[in-house]
Amino acid sequence: MGCCNRRCGLIAGAVFGALVAILGGILIPVGNSIVEDTVKKEAVIENGTTAYDNWVSTGAAMYREFFFFDVQNPEEVIDGSVPVVKEKGPYTYRVRYLPKDNIVPHPDHTITYQLPLGAIFEPSLSKGSEDDNITTLNLFLVGTLSTLPHKILEKILKASSSSLFQRRTVKELLWGYKIGKLLEIGLFSPYNGTFDGNYTIFTGKDDISKVGMIDKYQGEGSLNFWGDKYCDTINGTDASSFAPFVDKTKPLYFFSSDICRSVSADYTGSHDLLGIEVYRFGLSPKTLAAAVINPDNYCFCRDEKVFRNFTMGGVMDVTSCQGKPVYISLPHFLHGSQFLREDVLGLDPSEEKHSTFLDVEPTTGFTLRFAKRLQVNMMYTSSEEITVLNKVKNYTIFPLVWVNEMASMDEATADMFKKELFSRIEALDLAQKVLLGVGVSIFALCLIGYCVVRRNSQNKIA
């Protein structure tokens, strides 16, 4: 009788262990579903969600570092020599410190807003002051070279004793200086007190895969800068976040008003950021490739002569959208044609220092660290009617300054992520493993015990 009771107890134990193991196995898809539903709920951009709080006001401090190219041989360049430049900087400013403004939600699950622009100089993060002098191109001359008759420009230059190059302070070059009583010139003027936008984006309420994607920019569903359907397409988010559960095998798309176009970024590897795994996506090299290599870029090439029969890679003419004759590239002409670095000496492109990247947390789709690096260039060419341009080389793309806009999640935000999201996921995962492990162990032990008891019972009978 006692042997029978032991066998029955062991059978019951095995059944119990199997049930516990099955429960642990069931919790795996159920737990995953709970996590997925929670993430999707909190990723929607509407008042009360985690995504909305992070979206309205960026928690991490964002900075722009400006590196200027100081011309070392201005007089020799006018006489026909190749320009030699030396990098100066960084001159660092805090930016994007103001929350999004004029936020208007719409019934179709979109939301419209503006980005207030402002810059505060940070001396402790800079190598020099705003009053440092830089020798660079005469912005008035190169800015009007294609719009004013050259004979008139020659008279203006002589009357003002101006040349191809000028010496100005960092503050003047960035934020503007007066020419006469009415005209103000600056690489980023006007800036403080202005807005970027309007943007209209999808909240993700009805379709989480569209969260953060730009529906309209400045009230339009497409751009009107390039005169081509492909180039004028607005594709992706503003890069601050993407749809949750990021697939690293697929590129991420985002729109940048700085370069007036949409671009893509490809997965390059995983990194650790304060104990959180992030996927790094880098700007695709084909983004600024020569049109003869990437035919999609033909519509971004505005002038066949400047782009050397579409063989010049690494540069974009953004005059049509910026209102200034500006050419955008990666810093030091990274991934650009070799002749760009032969026309201007002193450049040293580096993938590590000069590439653009986004570090995206794959579960939420939030960008936790990024570095957006762009270079501002202008072009000058020879002219028989302008004395200081008589001997210079035709269609020289000249670097003025490169910008590193960057931000990274701080420890407080990392701790919040770990506590609110990852700790729950880990606890659920642990519960699944414990139940599965304990259940299998009980089942195995009881099954072994049952076999031993039964064998002993059979031996006694024999």
Task: Report the predicted TM-score, pTM, of the whole model to 2 decimal places.
Answer: 0.85
Confidence of residue 174 (pLDDT cuts 50, 70, 90): very high
Instruction: Judge whether residue 331 has pLDDT over 60.
Output: yes
What are 334-391's pLDDT values in tens digits? Answer: 999 999 999 999 999 999 999 999 999 998 899 999 999 999 999 999 999 999 999 9
Residue 94 has phi, psi (to 5 degrees) of -85, 135
Instruction: Judge whether residue 452 has pLDDT over 60.
Output: no
Gap between the terminal Cα atoms of the chain: 17
State the pLDDT at residue 70: 98
Q: Could you tell me if 373 and 403 are in contact, meaning their C-beta atoms sit under 8 angstroms apart?
A: yes
State the pLDDT at residue 21: 45
Instruction: Judge whether residue 53 has pLDDT over 70.
Output: yes
Question: What is the mean predicted confidence (pLDDT) over 213-224?
Answer: 95
Instruction: Judge whether residue 170 has pLDDT over 60.
Output: yes
Q: Which amino acid is at 237?
A: T
Lowest mean pLDDT across 372-376, 390-394, 417-421, 443-447: 443-447
State the pLDDT at residue 456: 59
State the pLDDT at residue 19: 46
What are 238-294's pLDDT values in tens digits? Answer: 999 999 999 999 999 999 999 999 999 999 999 999 989 999 999 988 899 999 999
State the pLDDT at residue 451: 58
Q: How far apart are CA 42 and CA 88, in angstroms?
A: 44
Structure tokens at 361: 């947390």
Instruction: Judge whether residue 299 has pLDDT over 50.
Output: yes
What are 63-83's pLDDT values in tens digits? Answer: 999 999 999 999 999 999 999
Angle (deg, nearest 10), helices 423-461 and 2-43: 170
Dihedral angle sign, alpha carbons of residues 152, 154, 160, 166: positive
Instruction: Judge whether residue 48 has pLDDT over 70.
Output: yes
Q: Where are the domains of the chain?
A: 2-40+437-461, 60-97+119-192+222-409
Instruction: Judge whether residue 214 has pLDDT over 90.
Output: yes
Which residue has 């090439």 as its token pair?
301
Percent of the chain with pLDDT over 70: 82
What is the bridge-based pairing of β-strands 195-202 and 110-116? antiparallel
Q: How far apart are CA 165 and CA 144, in angstroms?
A: 14
Q: Which amino acid is at 334?
A: L
Q: How far apart are CA 379 and CA 319, in angstroms?
A: 11
Structure tokens at 23: 């429960």
Question: What mean pLDDT is reported for the chain?
Answer: 86
